[in-house]
Amino acid sequence: MFRQSIVVFGIFFLFLTCSKVEDKNPLQKALSSENFKIKGVMDSLDQYEVQIRYTQIDRKGETVTFTDFDFQVNENQYFYPASTVKFPAAVAALEKINEIDSLSIQTRFYIEGDSVETTFAKAISEIFAVSDNAANNRLVEFLGQDDLNQRIKDKAIGPIRVAHRLSTSNADELVTKPLVIYLNDSTTASSKPIINTPLTPLVLNGIEKGKGFYASDSLYKEPFDFSLKNYYPISSQHNVLKRIIFPESFAPEERFNLSPSQLGALREAMYTLPGELGYDTEEYYDSYVKFLMFGDITQPMPDYIKIYNKVGYAYGTLTDCAYIHDVKNDIEFMVTATILVNKDGIFNDDAYEYDEIGIPFLAQLGRELYNIELNRKR
């Protein structure tokens, strides 16, 4: 009888311990949801390569406290970052502008050989509103890959390697194209080409993926090699976001050298919806590049929820790095999450389960965490 009591007590204690762990780990609670959009992924976790960092934010006076919760976050476990690299490109471009007296975010320019004239402000706006590849590539030509990477690393953020441009014929070119910059309405000046360091292959877990890939309309039955691709892990993405939203929480040497007006313009670009910039709302609906919370619906987002974020989607990988702020209910939190949806294991065949699995998972994850925040005592 005594031994039986000990066993019963032990089970009861284990239950209490597990309950407390779950109470203390809201991310695990969100991922334990019975909603099929979450459960379907969690029940077959190995194939999805999920990584998540969730940050609770608490304020006391002028002090901001971060509490991070991780799920499978690992800098050594590779995933393709896709368009999320446009965020550090925008930040680095703004910082470089500050170092050149003749430039501002409203400076007009075009890339030599390109007919499109733009401004730095417009390029950054296009990057966040609709994830425009050409706008990002113009900033890469302005910065060069080496300078872009070094500016991020200098802030103690973590590893990053922007090695190539996105969706363009000169993606891997090590020499940048000159910018033709308008000094005034009638006078232009050309920047010098920048020569960048040759690439060395990444050595990371999961750098080869799948069982085949298409190239030049031919199927190659071997894993797809990402070792010369861009690299921007969850931890680095999250750290960039923290420094942009809460720069005062970091030592001066860990902050980006951005003016208050630049920070304001950048943050506004991050949450502005496509329709507010004149894009066709049928094609570019509110959540077109807002995967967390709203990615699986096309109805207008509530105006009291602002999502400052950057998504990426390519090669079957979906990623969203977001600061979510509900101004009506005074809720704020951060999430950076990635998932691979490539059931057949073939890359470049355009048969990815973005709409069926990936985006619904990220949307429901955002809702689960939002509901936790809604009920959390502060």
**Is position 70 within any domain?**
yes
**Is position 88 within any domain?**
yes
**Is position 114 within any domain?**
yes
In this prediction, residue 23 carries a pLDDT of: 58
**Is position 350 within any domain?**
yes
Summary mean pLDDT of the chain: 94
Whether the predicted model's global pTM rises above the 0.85 cut: yes
User: What is the DSSP-derived secondary structure letter of residue 25?
Assistant: -
Q: 3-class SS at 51?
A: strand
Q: Residues 318, 319, 320, CA angle at the centre, nearest 5°?
A: 135
Backbone phi and psi for residue 64, each to the nearest 5 degrees, phi listed first: -115, 130
- Give 5's pLDDT tier (boundaries 50, 70, 90): very low
**Is position 3 within any domain?**
no
Spell out the residues 6+ positions from residue 221 whose beta carbon is closer than 8 angstroms to its own. Answer: 211, 212
- What is the rounded CA–CA span in Å between residue 77 and residue 317? 14
**What domain count does the chain have?**
1
Mean pLDDT of the 341-368 span? 98
Q: Is the pLDDT of residue 9 over 50?
A: no
Q: Is the pLDDT of residue 20 over 60?
A: no
- Residue whose token pair is 């942009």: 244
**Is position 281 within any domain?**
yes
In this prediction, residue 378 carries a pLDDT of: 82
For residue 252, what is the domain's CATH number? Answer: 3.40.710.10
Measured from the Cβ of residue 197, the count of other Cβ atoms closer than 10 Å reads 11
End-to-end CA distance of the chain: 45
Residue 350: burial class (beta carbons within 10 Å; 0-12, 13-18, 19+): exposed
**Which residue segment(s) compose the domain that 215 sits in?**
26-374
**Is position 151 within any domain?**
yes
**Is position 6 within any domain?**
no
**Which among 151, 49, 135 is positioned nearest to 91, based on CA atoms?**
151
Each residue of 59-108: pLDDT tens digit? 999 999 999 999 999 999 999 999 999 999 999 999 999 999 999 999 99
